[in-house]
Amino acid sequence: MKKIFVITVMLILMSGNSAAVPGQQTISYKGDRELKAAHKPSTDHSKLKELQRTFNSPEEVTVACESCHTERHKEIMATNHWTWERPEKVDGKLVDLGKKNVINNFCIALTSNEPRCTSCHIGYGWKDKTFDFSDKKKVDCLVCHDRTGTYKKFPTGAGYPVTKETLFMGTKKSFPPDYTKIAQNVGIPTRDNCGTCHFFGGGGNNVKHGDMEKALSKPSGDIDVHMAVDGENMLCIDCHVTTKHNIKGKMYSVSSADTNHVYCESCHAAPVHAHTVLEEHSQRVACQTCHIPTYARANPTKMWWDWSKAGRFDKNGKGIIIKNRMGEQDYNYMKGEFRWEKNVVPEYKWFNRTAGHTLVTDSIDPGKIVQLNRLNGSYADKSAKIWPVKVMRGKQIYDSEYKTLIIPKLFGKKESGAYWKNFDWNLAAEKGMKEAGLPYSGHYGFVQTEMYWPLNHMVAPKNKALTCTDCHSREGRLANLTDFYLPGRDRSKTLDMLGSILILLAIGGSLTHGIIRIVTKSK
Amino acid sequence: MYTRKVKLYSGFERFWHWTQALLIIFLALSGFEVHGVYTLFGYEKAVIWHDYAAWAFLVLIVFAIFWHITTGAWRQYIPTTRFIKAQLDYYLFGIFRNVPHPTRKTTLSKLNPLQRLTYFGLKVLVIPVQVISGFLYLYYHQAEQAGLHFSSLSGIALWHTFGAFLLVAFLFFHIYLATTGTPWTSNIKAMITGWEDVELSMDEVKEEAYPNVVKASEMGYYFLDRDGYIRDVNAAWLRIYGYTSAGEVVGRHSSITRNPEDAPLLKDMLDQVLAGEKIESRIVERVGKDGQQGKHLLTAHPVYISGEIAGMAGFIVDVKNKKEPV
């Protein structure tokens, strides 16, 4: 009999061990790729004769680059960084997505506003639709390869830097670049190179993404565990692996299919968690969900943009601008009303890594909130995972008769009909739609729209990751994701009530019985 | 009335009972934390330890099933309707009037009819539901990958919650009813030590008392075989005859207990009894150790072994010559 005890105890102990998983965390880099952050250039460009000269225009630099790197422009011209165009299938039909074609709820659309928007194009002179995408002189090598930190494209310059000292919006001063110095100091792109555009999407720091902003230039570990200057100090291109100038990664705001993407799992091979139950979460929960607990952790991001409120002036005829305590604008007469948030708790969506889009040619229902892009997926869709998302909300112009979204002409000279000079929506709509070759009824309204930005950056250190009860609780973060049973959150209220009554009856019944026993015995 | 210490619960049974008790309590505490009712261990630890405890419970169940089958103890749990009303009446009314328990605990039947029914239900319905739903819950993803299709975890989870409520309610009843023994700690002590004072039936009392009736009697007892040899005497017989140990007389012929002239009388009596007669009472003169003389009253009856008369036995009482003062 005693032997049976010993064996039982042993088996119980062993069973405990067998349910556990080897407790080691593994980060395995696939292949033997070294981090680009540690890259040492093989060429000292300051020693090249071709660069020991003065340059009168940025195109002259490009020609100099291409005199040695004779084929690179072909690679560049094949990338989305150049074309801003992506033919992709949305709901089964092939459409042209990409920055050039999609509608967003920030500055709405590129068409008719090029010189402003294309200040972030890796080319020179895309000021309207006549831009020649095959002209290799127009490739901007420096915006990505400048290592001096002095190369700046002017905000309204269609991709060109300034030729003389210039003020932007009466405040920010821009200087002509020292092309010789910059050309002699080129190197692989750093965080600042990528950030010069990607941190400032939407016209200001962290406006668009919420998880990409200037704090990532030199982030602390708490802001971004990968790029932390006191940690891994990784560069963007350490994850956004680049082959022939094709940089992996693309945003669902401008794309649809799950191709050419970067994944956490590309480096972090499973299993990455010490316990099976935790590891199993990765089947239905994206890494980002737990490891990006909040976004906009350093600086606020724009959450709401109401164009319908634009165009207010004070009694002196001066455009109204209202700033908040964070130093961000809550109102700008040119753009309307904004709401900013810092350290934002994401919204969570099922997402199978394909997205739909509402195109400018699509009919909309103005009675409903229009989803400019939609993340596809549900609990029932086994390929979908729960993702953290920044949802950008706002109101923007639409054609109230044709029931379509409108591309307004915002930027330009007064005589072009631009809204920012005339503050006339009807005129801006007419000019913008004409430029896009689309019909406009002459009647406009404002419709509420939403845009979904899955979060990927600002991965927090593991001790800052979400814990169980952030979701597994009655009012947790997944309170709105109701198409499945979540332990700790969900229950049958009826069953719980009946069960509680049963337990109370057991306790109450026993107590009553016991008291009667004691009373009757003592008689 | 009469009780006897009985080993009611074997070592394994007690180990099983208490391990199961601890596991069920722990599973309930951690399980309801996972259910979102309160914070106790912390959610992550509650989940992980709940899973370990589930495995431990499964192992324990496997051993318990083995034990029940090999020892036949499973028969204890066959439900019966006999006395079920009496047991209910007892809990509802009799217990308050100090009426004795309607059913008795024996090693062959440790459980009263209500216990049988309840435990049977637990073992056949509740625990299997808990184990199956629990492991499906735990290995939900694997089960799905293996081709089992659930529309959602909710069905599994609700069954598991349902079972948990039943078990917790049972637990409270069980703990309370454990105090209904006499004294109130007796059942609990028994489950700890294994021993319990079990009430004896009159037959059991008699069975236990009879062998001692002869040994402890103040009447002398003798047993002669067919040839008249002394085969057994009790302590009182030795005292009456003046002997100190049975070894002095057992195996010797009975004629040594008589004067030579009385020996034929003894022989006649033996013959009579061997023929099937009984001697109700007779006063005889005896010769004790070292020739001491005395008188005693005797009885005699034939002793049957396997249906044959194998000898003569009876009792003797010394008869004093001088009268006792009344």
Instruction: Say yes or no: B161 contacts chain A, CB-CB below 8 A.
Output: yes
Residue B58 CA to residue A15 CA, distance in Å, equals 9
The pLDDT, as a whole number, for residue B148 is: 82
State the nearest Cα–Cα gap between B35 and chain A, in angstroms.
4
Per-residue pLDDT of B239-280, as tens digits, reads: 999 999 999 999 999 999 999 998 899 999 999 999 999 999
Question: Over the range A54-87, which residues count as b (16 or more CB within 10 Å of their CB) and which as e?
Answer: ebeebbebbebbbeeeeebbeebbeebbbbbebe
Q: Helix (H, G, I), strand (E, B), or coil: what is residue A284?
A: coil
| A72 CA to centre of own chain | 28
Given a cut of 50, whether residue B318 has pLDDT beyond it is yes
Which of A336-350, A394-408, B115-129 comes out lowest in average pLDDT? B115-129
- Confirm or reject contact between B279 and chain A (CB < 8 A): no
- For residue A381, the distance in angstroms to the closest alpha carbon of chain B comes to 11
**What pLDDT score was predicted for residue B150?**
77
Position A12 scores a pLDDT of: 47
**Which pLDDT does position A24 carry in this prediction?**
37
Q: What is the per-residue pLDDT for B211?
A: 79
Angle of helix B113-121 versus helix B84-92 axis, rounded to 10: 100
B95 touches A: beta carbon within 8 Å: yes
Nearest residue of chain A to residue B23 (CA atoms):
A12
- On whether the CB atoms of residues B286 and B254 are closer than 8 A, the answer is no
Per-residue pLDDT at A15:
44
Mean pLDDT of chain A: 90
Complete DSSP assignment for A428-496 = HHHHHHHHHT----S-EEEEEEEEEEE--S-PPPGGGS--HHHHSSTT-TTTT--SS--TTT---HHHH
A513 and B157 in contact by Cβ < 8 A? no
Residues across chain B: 326
Structure tokens at A67: 């005199």
The chain B residue lying nearest A281, using CA atoms, is: B141
Closest-approach residue (CA) in chain A for B144: A382
The Cα of B130 is separated from the nearest Cα of chain A by a number of Å equal to: 15
Q: What is the 3-state secondary structure (H, E, C) of chain B?
A: CCEEEEECCCHHHHHHHHHHHHHHHHHHHHHHHHCCCCCCCCHHHHHHHHHHHHHHHHHHHHHHHHHHHHHCHHHHHCCCCCCHHHHHHHHHCHHHHCCCCCCCCCCCCCCCHHHHHHHHHHHHHHHHHHHHHHHHHHCHHHHHHCCCCCCCCHHHHHHHHHHHHHHHHHHHHHHHHHHHCCCCCHHHHHHHHCEEEEECCHHHHHHHHHHHHHHHCCCEEEEEECCCEEEEECHHHHHHHCCCCHHHCCCCEHHHHCCHHHHHHHHHHHHHHHCCCCEEEEEEEEECHHHCEEEEEEEEEEEEECCEEEEEEEEEEEECCCCCCC
Please confirm whether the linkage preceding B183 is cis (ω < 30° from 0): yes
Evaluated on CA atoms B146, B149, B152, B155, the torsion sign reads negative
| Confidence band, pLDDT 50/70/90 cuts, at residue B85 | confident
**A5/B35 CB distance under 8 A:** no
Subunit contact A490:B157, Cβ cutoff 8 A: yes
Q: Where in chain B is the domain with CATH 1.20.950.20?
A: 3-200
pLDDT reading at B147 higher than 80? yes
B175:A510 CB<8 A: yes
Q: What span, in angstroms and rounded, lies between the C-alpha atoms of A357 and A376?
A: 10
Report the pLDDT value the prediction gives residue A332, as an integer from 0 to 100.
96
pLDDT digits (tens, 9 = 90+) for B163-178: 999 999 999 999 999 9
Separation in Å, CA B167 to CA A295, B23, B123, B177? 45, 12, 11, 15
The SS3 of residue A139 is strand
pLDDT confidence bin for B322, thresholds 50/70/90: low
Q: Is pLDDT larger for residue B145 or for residue A76? A: A76
What mean pLDDT value characterizes chain B? 90
CATH for B217-319 is 3.30.450.20
Please give the pLDDT value at position A4.
54
C-alpha span between A520 and B96 (Å, rounded): 6
Verify whether the Cβ–Cβ distance A520 to B34 is below 8 Å.
no
User: Is residue A417 within 8 Å of residue A431, measured between CB atoms?
Assistant: yes
All CATH 3.30.450.20 domain ranges in chain B, comma separated: 217-319
Q: What percent of chain B has pLDDT over 70?
A: 97
The interface residues of chain B toward chain A in range 96-155, judged by CB-CB distance below 8 A, are 96-98, 141, 152-154
Assess whether the previous peptide bond of A461 is cis (omega < 30° from 0): no
Q: In this complex, which of A12, A275, A509 lies closest to B60 when CB atoms are compared?
A: A12
Between A18, A495, A516, which is nearest B161 by CB? A495
- With a pLDDT cut of 90, the percent of chain A lying above it is 80
Q: How far off is chain A from B325, nearest CA to CA, in Å?
A: 51
**Confidence band for A33, pLDDT divided at 50, 70 and 90:** low
Maximum separation of any 2 CA atoms in chain A, in Å: 116
Look at the block and give the residue holding tokens 């009655």.
Answer: A474
- Distance separating alpha carbons of residues A423 and A293, to the nearest angstrom: 40
Query: Complex ipTM, two decimals?
Result: 0.82
Q: What percent of chain B has pLDDT over 90?
A: 62
Over residues A166-198, the pLDDT tens digits come to: 888 777 888 999 999 999 999 999 999 999 999
CB contact under 8 A, B164 and A505: no
Given pLDDT bands bounded at 50, 70 and 90, which one contains residue A66?
Answer: very high
pLDDT digits (tens, 9 = 90+) for B158-211: 999 999 999 999 999 999 999 988 788 988 999 999 998 877 778 878 888 887
Q: Which of A167-176, A277-286, A381-390 has the lowest mean pLDDT?
A: A167-176
Where are the extended beta strands (E) located within A84-232?
86-90, 93-97, 166-168, 172-174
pLDDT average, residue stretch B115-134: 92
In B170-209, the residues whose Cβ lies within 8 Å of chain A are: 170-173, 175-177, 179-180
Contact A521 B161 (CB under 8 A): no
Residue in A16, A278, A492 nearest the CB of B55: A16
Neighbours of A136 (CB within 10 A): 16
How far off is chain B from A226, nearest CA to CA, in Å?
A: 26
Minimal CA separation from B194 to chain A, in Å: 14
Which residues, including other chains, have CB under 8 Å from residue A70's CB and lie 6 or more apart?
Answer: none
Tens-digit pLDDT profile for residues A234-268: 999 999 999 999 999 999 999 998 889 999 988 88
> For residue B114, what pLDDT band results from cuts at 50, 70 and 90?
confident
pLDDT higher than 80, residue A9:
no
Contact, B248 vs B289, CB < 8 A? yes
Q: Which residues of A touch B145 (CB under 8 A)?
A: none
Judged by DSSP in three states, A216 sits in helix
CB atoms B43 and A485 under 8 Å:
no
State the average pLDDT over residues A288-315.
97
Q: Are B229 and B254 in contact (CB under 8 A)?
A: yes
Is A441 in contact with A399 (CB distance < 8 Å)? yes
Position A520 scores a pLDDT of 86
Length of chain A: 523
Using pLDDT thresholds of 50, 70 and 90, give the confidence band for residue A3.
low
Residue type at A488 in one-letter notation: G
CB contact under 8 A, A487 and B168: no
Shortest Cα distance, chain B CAs vs residue A25, angstroms: 17
pLDDT tens digit string along A79-135?
999 999 988 887 778 888 999 999 999 999 999 999 999 999 999 999 998 999 999
Supply the pLDDT for residue B145.
83
Residue among A65, A67, A71, A15 nearest A45 (CA): A65
Q: How confident is the model at residue A219 (pLDDT cuts 50, 70, 90)?
A: very high
Q: Does domain B3-200 match CATH 3.50.50.60?
A: no
Are A499 and B158 an interchain contact pair (Cβ–Cβ within 8 Å)? no
